[in-house]
Amino acid sequence: MTNDKIALQLQPKEYKSAVKPVWCPGCGDFGVLGALTKALAGLKIQPEDAAVISGIGCSSRMPTYLSTYGFHGVHGRALAVATGLKVARPDLTVIATGGDGDGFSIGGNHFLHTCRRNPDLTYIVMDNQVYGMTKGQASPTTEPNWERAKLTPSGTGINPFQPLAIALASGANFIARCSSSDSNGTARVLMEAIRHPGFSMVQVLSPCVTFRPEQREWKRSLIPAPEDMQRTPDPAEAARLLMTDEGVYTGILYVGDRPVYQPKLKSEIDNIATLDEEFRL
Amino acid sequence: MTDTSKHPLRSIRSADELLAYSLALETEAVDRFNDLADQMEVHHNYEVADLFRKLAKIEGLHIDNVKQASAGKELPALMAWEFEWEGGESPEGGLMEEAHYLMQPWHAIELAMHGEQRAVEFFRHVAETAEDETVVKMALEMVEEEEEHVALLKKWQERFPKPEEGWDEDLDAPVLME
Amino acid sequence: MRFQSLSIALTGSGGSGVMTTGSLLLEAAGRAGWYGFMARSAGPQIRGGEAAAVLRIASEPIESHDDSFDLVLAIDPGSLARFLAEIPLRSDSLIISDAEGGRRGDSLPDTPARVIDLPMKGLAKTVQAGRPNMIALGALTKVIGLPLAPMLEILEKILKSKGADALESSWNCVQEGYEAGAELPVLDGPLVNTDISADRWSLTGNEAAGLGAVRGGIRFVAGYPITPATELLEWLAGTLPKVGGVLVQAEDELASVNQIIGASFGGTPALTATSGPGLALMTESIGLSVCSEVPVVIIDVMRCGPSTGIATKSEQSDLDIALHGLHGDAPHLVLAPTSVTDCLFTTQWSVHLAESLQTAAIVLSDQSLGQSKAIVERPADVSFMARRVVPETFAGEYQRYAISESGVSPMSIPGQAGGQYTADGLEHNQAGTPSSLPEDHYSQLEKRQRKIHAFEFGQHWADLEGSGETAVITWGATTGPVREALSRLRERGENVRLIAVRLLSPERPADMAAALAGVKRLLVVEQSHSRQFHRYLRSAYDLHPAVKVFNRPGPLPFRPNEIIEQLHNWGQAD
């Protein structure tokens, strides 16, 4: 379907749909939306050749706001939908988007196995350490002593999930952390993530101004990782960084070259009646 | 509000390059104000939405000015992240996070003023660091222009009282969506 | 020519190879011109447990077990006890066993049948690398009057991969057993050797379903291992790459169903296969398929439930969840094959319907169909192919969920410029934008219902046979014994109608009314403890005739004489 098509240079704006986001003003997800449109424009991917897949949550509304193909499914299953689509349609650029609850709690198993399987997908997790759409419960990445959730009024008492360390251990092929307030920097990372073969995991720290207004401070606390620590191909080095940086380093933190999961879809037989033979007595 | 876009990392070398930066800056501003207007409309804050729409229109006129100035020239084609803004974002680009659904016109103008102020500082830095005289001259003109904008905005803001503490209080709980 | 059949059970334990023996016997019989089928029953062990191959060989195509067994071959005497409930015996049934075949002190259970000893273990020792099950195969070949030539052909075909030595020792054993069989009684009523020129197939219900899926256009499958659906997935894993498709082993059933939704969203007809526990996990996302109108097919090879239940044995107790397991108002298709061969037709039709109607189709097969191997005529080619309405051009704003008369709206495929939309499990408007407005909810609910209820499904909704004022209504695998019971009654001059429902959802009130016209007594036959099918019929249809229910849970199959008895005793024993 994409043969003979001339890649037009479109403006980032042209990757936005006519639907206006329901996100709260000030939400970090606006920055990610902007960054994603810039990355798609930068890569000259035609809107009809990209599909953005999501589950449930504030950030999972992303596909509706884009002019690409989109799929807004059920809670936690974005990566499964994205994997099925990419395996069946390797010609498409497939991007999954979602939040920390969707990806690491209800969808945790798919996260592990998609890292492990390594299909050529880009996964953008807008991490705000809270469930926004259900009114501010603690998520897997919430700190244990956050006491403002009515569901866990004394804090969760549970250590937060370390998405990037787990992605690395599970086999993700490209790992990055961004800040939504740095929309241009995020765009640059996303462009590289989309271009990199295999499963690219991009955590974007994206403040929830409604339930975690203190996260507006992230734009000051997040700092680019030292140049010499970025883009390491060595998982051990990346692991040390991810386990010791307390989540404040942004940038491309691991670039691997594991083989990509993409079965060949090429018919070996001309006539389907050939299949009859194995049943014939 | 913090100022994360003080200076570009290096000096601007040519008039064309400065025009490209200027065009990017104004385009970002228009997009941002329109996005903010959309956000306010979705959240039924129509007064501020209209104000942002107006600001977008005004910035649009600036784009026209830059386009006129660059008529017939081929400006360098840079991707958004290839501009070397200090802090990564263009002076008027990083305004989104300061928005609030209950914000009042005073806030909106304050926000716009910060953007303009950063633009002033950006062009002033260009004027100070550029070697090319044409660039210096152009940059100083732009400083002047942006300063005018700041002054106009200041005047405009005076028409609205500064909101009192608690302006962002909402007695209703957030809505459960999904 | 009079219909004749012979029912044979082979039992063994500890890796005695009864399944292989049964398959060889069945296929050799097929090559000799007979029809037949073989069901499998097993204990809980992964290796070395008790196992039974349950065969019926017949002069005509068959779909049912008989009332009782003519012949049992117990490789070791202890293995029969476990399966006695599944192997009814008569006083003239024959048990061949080996007193030395098992553990010292093991003995056959008490049965009315005659017992003859055959020292299979001893005879196997006389052959280089000999095995008792191959001695048994030779003896059975002789006892049922099967020529040796087709047996050799089948041995060569099946054992080709094992090497020449294995083939030689097996063949030597078969000949040894054949000679020993000469001392055994020949079973009464030898079978008629029918025309062998026909194109005859040997396949299981799981393979038939797989073939139906591939013929129907399925090119993407995701699945998670689960008994008794695993073999269906395994067959597809081997076959799909040949036709340019692929099977992905998913991390769980939640992933399976969402992967197929993703592939289908991309334009590739997609399917998964599972059993009850997996179907339960998938239900949320089957609702997503319905709401987002992305076609998928889910085959449920049913087993005894609830919970993990009895994973290796058959039951028709997933009807409720297949019909009603989705939350919200989620009209979808539920179909069920009525025989091993029909697994092919029904699956292929289901793919066609799901694709045409852009919805989810659940196909309810079961263990007894899926894991039974049948010798049949080559199944007829069916012209149903995946047929999705895709827009060719985009004039103006494309509306993915446009309200149309049929309820089906053209579905664009990623890559088509101008067709971009976001498929959504949130209620949406015609463009696909999330909407909480009542008018959008009503109109989209109505559209999704209309496309399914208004569709003309035609004659395949049920198998209707016979005439008369009495009818038996059933579905799925129980159709086989019902059909045989009614055919026996017909031979005696008693006319009873058969209604075997293939399309369970949506209901077909007009078709059902026509099928029931003139019926005064209706016997419902189903394999579920809580009478799920009966409750479904009561809720979906007006049943004017007097109704009687003959139900029981799995795993014991229905036998034709039980159904005849139910009909004859109507009103007497109730």
Contacts of residue B43 in chain A, CB cutoff 8 Å? Answer: 24-25
Q: What is the DSSP string of C403-414?
A: --SSS------T
For chain A, say whether B99 makes contact (Cβ under 8 Å).
yes
> Which pLDDT does position C194 carry in this prediction?
62
Per-residue model confidence as pLDDT tens digits over A15-50: 999 999 999 999 999 999 999 999 999 999 999 999
> Which pLDDT does position A193 carry in this prediction?
98
Per-residue model confidence as pLDDT tens digits over A161-219: 999 999 999 999 999 999 999 999 999 999 999 999 999 999 999 999 999 999 999 98
Q: How many CB atoms lie within 10 A of CB B151?
A: 12
Contact C350, C358 (CB under 8 A): no
Query: Mean pLDDT of all residues in chain A?
Result: 95
Amino acid at B158: E
Among left, alpha and beta (phi > 0; psi -120 to 50; other), residue A171 is: left
How many domains does the structure of chain C reveal?
Answer: 4
> Which pLDDT does position C573 carry in this prediction?
44
Q: Which two structure tokens, joined as six digits, stand for C133?
A: 């099950």
Per-residue model confidence as pLDDT tens digits over C137-185: 999 999 999 999 999 999 999 888 888 999 999 999 999 999 999 999 9
Helix (H) or strand (E) holding C236: helix C230-239
Q: Which of residues 125-164 of B touch A (CB under 8 A)?
A: none
pLDDT at B6 over 60: no
- Give C266→chain A minimum CA distance, Å: 6
Do C262 and A1 lie within an 8 Å CB cutoff?
Answer: no
Task: Name the band, by pLDDT with cuts 50, 70 and 90, for residue C485.
Answer: very high
Establish if B30 belongs to a structural domain: yes
Q: Nearest CA to C472 among C365, C355, C376, C566? A: C566
Task: Name the band, by pLDDT with cuts 50, 70 and 90, for residue C527.
Answer: very high
Per-residue model confidence as pLDDT tens digits over B95-138: 788 899 999 999 999 999 999 999 999 999 999 999 999 999 99
For chain B, say whether A13 makes contact (Cβ under 8 Å).
yes
Per-residue model confidence as pLDDT tens digits over A112-153: 999 999 999 999 999 999 999 888 999 999 999 999 999 999
What angle (nearest 5°) sits at the alpha carbon of residue C215, between those of residues C214 and C219?
35
Report CA-CA distances (Å) from C165 to A83, A229, C159, C162. 46, 62, 10, 8
- What is the rounded CA–CA span in Å between residue C504 and residue C541? 11
Same domain, yes or no: C149 and C21? yes
Q: What is the DSSP letter of A260?
A: P
Contact C266, A92 (CB under 8 A): yes
pLDDT at C230 over 60: yes
Q: What is the ipTM of this complex?
A: 0.97
Q: What is the DSSP letter of C366?
A: E
- What is the rounded CA–CA span in Å between residue B35 and residue B56? 9
Please tell me which of the candidates A51, A109, A267 has its beta carbon nearest to residue C243.
A267
Please, how many CA atoms are within 13 Å of residue C276, restricted to the half-sphere of its CB? 22
Q: What is the DSSP string of C52-116?
A: EEEEEEESS---S--SSEEEEEESSGGGGGGGGGGS-EEEEEEEEE-TTSSSTT--PPP-SSEEE
Burial class (CB in 10 A: 0-12, 13-18, 19+), B162: exposed
> Which pLDDT does position C193 carry in this prediction?
62
Q: Which two structure tokens, joined as six digits, stand for B97?
A: 């996070």
Establish if B170 belongs to a structural domain: no
pLDDT at C195 over 80: no
- Chains A–B, number of C-beta pairs less than 8 Å apart: 90
Residues A161, A166, A170, A176, CA torsion sign: positive
Do B100 and A26 lie within an 8 Å CB cutoff?
Answer: yes
Q: What is the DSSP letter of A66?
A: B
Do A25 and B80 lie within an 8 Å CB cutoff?
Answer: no
- What is the rounded CA–CA span in Å between residue A180 and residue C339? 58
For chain B, say whether A57 makes contact (Cβ under 8 Å).
yes
- What is the rounded CA–CA span in Å between residue B123 and residue C301? 71
Same domain, yes or no: C373 and C249? yes
For chain A, say whether C72 makes contact (Cβ under 8 Å).
no
Burial class (CB in 10 A: 0-12, 13-18, 19+), B58: middle
Establish if A3 belongs to a structural domain: no
Do A21 and B39 lie within an 8 Å CB cutoff?
Answer: yes
Contacts of residue A15 in chain C, CB cutoff 8 Å? Answer: none
Per-residue model confidence as pLDDT tens digits over C37-78: 999 988 777 777 889 999 999 988 999 999 999 999 999 999
The owner of tokens 């049934």 is: C93
Establish if C384 belongs to a structural domain: no
Do A38 and B80 lie within an 8 Å CB cutoff?
Answer: yes
pLDDT at C198 over 80: no
- What is the rounded CA–CA span in Å between residue C410 and residue C395? 13
Helix C148-159 vs helix C18-31: angle between axes, to the nearest 10 degrees?
A: 130
Same domain, yes or no: C371 and C445? no
Q: Which two structure tokens, joined as six digits, stand for C523?
A: 């016997």
Q: Which residue has the higher pLDDT, C463 or B68?
A: C463
Q: How many CB atoms lie within 10 A of CB C152?
A: 16
Residues C110, C113, C117, C120, CA torsion sign: negative
What angle (nearest 5°) sits at the alpha carbon of residue B85, between those of residues B84 and B88?
100
Contact C75, C120 (CB under 8 A): yes
The owner of tokens 């959309």 is: B38
Query: Mean pLDDT of all residues in chain B?
Result: 87
> Which pLDDT does position C190 carry in this prediction?
60
* Residue at which a domain ends, from C150, C181, C212: C181
Same domain, yes or no: C510 and C533? yes
Q: Which two structure tokens, joined as six digits, stand for A47?
A: 């809107």
Same domain, yes or no: C263 and C340? yes
Contact B107, A204 (CB under 8 A): no
- What is the rounded CA–CA span in Å between residue C289 and residue C440? 18
Same domain, yes or no: C446 and C485? no
> Which pLDDT does position B79 carry in this prediction?
76
pLDDT at A1 over 50: no
Establish if B131 belongs to a structural domain: yes
Among left, alpha and beta (phi > 0; psi -120 to 50; other), residue A36 is: alpha
Establish if B134 belongs to a structural domain: yes
Same domain, yes or no: C150 and C249? no
- Across residues C87-100, what is the average pLDDT? 96
Contact C2, C15 (CB under 8 A): no
The pLDDT > 70 percentage for chain C reads 97
Q: What is the DSSP letter of C191?
A: P
Task: Name the band, by pLDDT with cuts 50, 70 and 90, for residue C572.
Answer: low
pLDDT at B52 over 70: yes
What angle (nearest 5°) sits at the alpha carbon of residue C107, between those of residues C104 and C109?
160
Please, how many CA atoms are within 13 Å of residue C22, restricted to the half-sphere of its CB? 31
Domain assignment of residue A105, given as a range: 16-279
- What is the rounded CA–CA span in Å between residue B121 and residue B155? 20
- What is the rounded CA–CA span in Å between residue C68 and residue C74? 16
Establish if C480 belongs to a structural domain: yes
For chain B, say whether A73 makes contact (Cβ under 8 Å).
no
Q: Nearest CA to C298 among C266, C317, C262, C322? A: C322
- Kindly identify which residue of chain C lies nearest to residue A106, measuring between CA atoms: C254
Contacts of residue A135 in chain B, CB cutoff 8 Å? Answer: 173-174, 176
Amino acid at C257: V
Candidate from B80-94, C165-179, C241-255, C521-535 with smallest mean pLDDT: B80-94
For chain B, say whether A25 makes contact (Cβ under 8 Å).
yes
- Please provide the distance, in angstroms rounded to a whole number, between the alpha carbons at the two ends of chain C: 38
Contacts of residue A55 in chain B, CB cutoff 8 Å? Answer: none
Task: Name the band, by pLDDT with cuts 50, 70 and 90, for residue A5.
Answer: low
Per-residue model confidence as pLDDT tens digits over C331-357: 999 999 999 999 999 999 999 999 999
pLDDT at B172 over 60: yes
Q: Which two structure tokens, joined as six digits, stand for A180?
A: 């939504």
Query: Mean pLDDT of all residues in chain C?
Result: 94
- What CATH number is attached to the domain comprising B139? 1.20.1260.10
The contacts of residue C271 (CB under 8 Å, 6+ apart) are: C213, C218, C220, C221, C260, C296, C297, C298, C299, C351
Contact A238, A254 (CB under 8 A): yes
Same domain, yes or no: C86 and C148? yes
Q: Nearest CA to C335 among C369, C383, C293? A: C369
Q: Nearest CA to C21 among C33, C13, C10? A: C10
Establish if B64 belongs to a structural domain: yes
Per-residue model confidence as pLDDT tens digits over A63-80: 999 999 999 999 999 999
Establish if C78 belongs to a structural domain: yes
Domain assignment of residue C208, given as a range: 202-377
- What is the rounded CA–CA span in Å between residue C341 and residue C86? 23
Establish if C187 belongs to a structural domain: no
Contact C482, C522 (CB under 8 A): no
Helix (H) or strand (E) holding C504: strand C503-505
Bridge partner list, C304? C310
- What CATH number is attached to the domain comprising A29? 3.40.50.970
Contact A68, A96 (CB under 8 A): no
- Give A267→chain B minimum CA distance, Å: 41
For chain B, say whether A15 makes contact (Cβ under 8 Å).
no
Establish if C194 belongs to a structural domain: no
Q: What is the DSSP letter of A145?
A: T
What angle (nearest 5°) sits at the alpha carbon of residue A164, between those of residues A159 and A165?
70
- What is the rounded CA–CA span in Å between residue A42 and residue A169? 31
Do A209 and B100 lie within an 8 Å CB cutoff?
Answer: yes
Establish if B178 belongs to a structural domain: no
Do A74 and C219 lie within an 8 Å CB cutoff?
Answer: no
Q: Which of residues 230-259 of C touch A (CB under 8 A)?
A: 239, 241-246, 248, 250-252, 254-259
Domain assignment of residue B127, given as a range: 15-70+100-158
Establish if C192 belongs to a structural domain: no
How many domains does the structure of chain B reveal?
Answer: 1
Report the relative pairing of strands C462-465 and C496-501 from DSSP bridges: antiparallel
> Which pLDDT does position C565 carry in this prediction?
97
How many domains does the structure of chain A reveal?
Answer: 1
Task: Name the band, by pLDDT with cuts 50, 70 and 90, for residue C574.
Answer: very low
Same domain, yes or no: C213 and C285? yes
Establish if C277 belongs to a structural domain: yes
Contact A69, A2 (CB under 8 A): no
Same domain, yes or no: C135 and C44? yes
Same domain, yes or no: C424 and C305? no
Please, how many CA atoms are within 13 Å of residue A203, restricted to the half-sphere of its CB? 31
> Which pLDDT does position B4 carry in this prediction?
40
> Which pLDDT does position C189 carry in this prediction?
58
